[in-house]
Structure 1
């Protein structure tokens, strides 16, 4: 069982690290901060609930079963964080959100105090690592402690479920997908954990033994349910950014032929970003460097080379737009070649032509130019100096 919950804790922790990759920005945004807090508390809950961790906590504190109230308190804190997260996610005035969040903290803070008091008053000297709920189901104060944490978690599931179902009817797109995942996770949690634990405890009260529901069924189901819920919370926050960085990574690879063509041109030095920085930042650096190089090559642009290449590309069956891109790429390749020869061989009448690729939004124009540089035989001819242009 420890392996299952440790795996869940690891996935939760990874999600928290991704969300908290920019600490200052995360702390300034209540929604991001509450998301990070909820995911981190979920990871701690799973880590603490593993039998191996429970034994280590009990040995460290030298208090039998001390890991139980610690875990139950963290489950209550996690339940509270989910409600606060949904409050910030749902929106509203800052005053309203703060008031609702403080109410949730006060409610679950009182619950945590009650859990600790019950454990302090209870007689629980026999260490139980996996079946404490059912083993102590009839023990005074331990019984109340177990009921309290189950009620607190159940109330959280009920509030989240009602809020998500209502909100899902009002929204569309990725937000609705996230809400549906949260609802699915709540159902798994309610059936596989809350109901299973409750039935097993009530069975003990009535003299029956259904401990397997608490010890075998609940742990893996609640792990899956919590992960699905967390994905529902994280997905709308992370996916748009992930898609942006994935596209940036694709553009970085596509711009390689263009950067290879112009990188030898003398430009103002720029610090190269580290390999571990996000693709979007690396793409911005590369675009800026390419634009600087294009400005340095502008005096070497030859309209004659561009015109001859345009006619050749059209004759090869390319569309007018694609032929224009190929012609610009050929002129750029010719300019890069001329920039490496002695000054007295440079063209006498440089072009004032502005590359259309630089006017396109984002990196799309540069990517098209890079593709032409790497694929077109017309560009290859210009790079080798075999395009004959006539100047008046």
Structure 2
């Protein structure tokens, strides 16, 4: 896949973050605004660090073959967690429930990230595979567990997001309903992609 497919949305995400930053500086205590900015930042990071040229450069700078993999997975887990937190805050409800759900989500995805870096450190990935790491290392001890964790974390986030949006769909106005419907379609597609990825890794 061409790097432009990654850098164009990354550039658009950067613009969106820059547009939101002044509002965040004025309202640093607004949890919804913080959630929006963090989600935009992490989503933009996924596109930047998912490009093949960036993957190669990260590995070159660190001197560690495939270090870009756990780094990208960590950013992706942060994006998954922040997406769920964004919906939790946007939907609203009792503040104690929102805070509890936010802490649970952040803690879960932070633990997943630590586990993935640990598994990467324990495994061996000497060959640089910018485009097919998942299938190439599917039988490598520890690295395969890291890959499975990343897929489980992403699939769980997609399922949770689709479910939250679907439950919220009937309670909102037409404009927000369209946005939620698009999110449901997007996260359902992500689940379909993950099913194919699990099949490829399993094979």
Normalising by the smaller structure, the TM-score range is over 0.9
Paired with 2:91 and 2:24, the residues of 1 have a C-alpha distance of 23
Alignment of 1:54-73 (within 5 A): 54-73=55-74
Paired with 1:28 and 1:153, the residues of 2 have a C-alpha distance of 28
Is 2:76 the partner of 1:92?
no
Aligned pair count?
Answer: 202
- Provide Cα deviations, 1:272-327, integer angstroms capped at 9, x if missing partner: xxxxxxxxxxxxxxxxxxxxxxxxxxxxxxxxxxxxxxxxxxxxxxxxxxxxxxxx
Task: Report the counterpart of residue 133 of structure 1 in structure 2.
Answer: 134
Task: Report the counterpart of residue 102 of structure 1 in structure 2.
Answer: 103
* Gap regions ≥5 residues in structure 2: none
Task: Report the counterpart of residue 159 of structure 2 in structure 1.
Answer: 158
Paired with 1:22 and 1:88, the residues of 2 have a C-alpha distance of 17
Tell me which stretches of 4 or more aligned residues in structure 1 moved more than 3 Å.
Answer: none
Contact 1:76-1:108 within 8 A present in 2 as well: yes
CA RMSD of aligned residues (A): 1.2
TM-fit CA distance, 1:47: 0.7
Contact 1:20-1:26 within 8 A present in 2 as well: no
Paired with 2:27 and 2:181, the residues of 1 have a C-alpha distance of 25
Q: Which has the higher contact order (CA 8 A, sep 6+)?
A: 2
TM-fit CA distance, 1:20: 2.3
Look at both structures and tell me which one has the larger radius of gyration over its CA atoms. 1
Q: TM-score, normalised by structure 2?
A: 0.95
Helix, strand or coil for the counterpart of 1:92? coil
- Provide Cα deviations, 1:107-148, integer angstroms capped at 9, x if missing partner: 111100110011001011111111111100111111100000
Q: TM-score, normalised by structure 1?
A: 0.50
* Gap regions ≥5 residues in structure 1: 204-392
- Change in 2 beyond 3 A, CA 1:26/1:173: farther
Task: Report the counterpart of residue 16 of structure 1 in structure 2.
Answer: 17
Contact 1:136-1:143 within 8 A present in 2 as well: yes
Is 2:200 the partner of 1:200?
yes
TM-fit CA distance, 1:26: 4.3
Task: Report the counterpart of residue 39 of structure 1 in structure 2.
Answer: 40
- Change in 2 beyond 3 A, CA 1:6/1:196: farther
Alignment of 1:145-224 (within 5 A): 145-191=146-192, 193-203=193-203
TM-fit CA distance, 1:23: 3.0
Higher helix share: 2
Alignment of 1:1-392 (within 5 A): 1=1, 2-191=3-192, 193-203=193-203
Contact 1:31-1:88 within 8 A present in 2 as well: yes
Helix, strand or coil for the counterpart of 1:23? helix
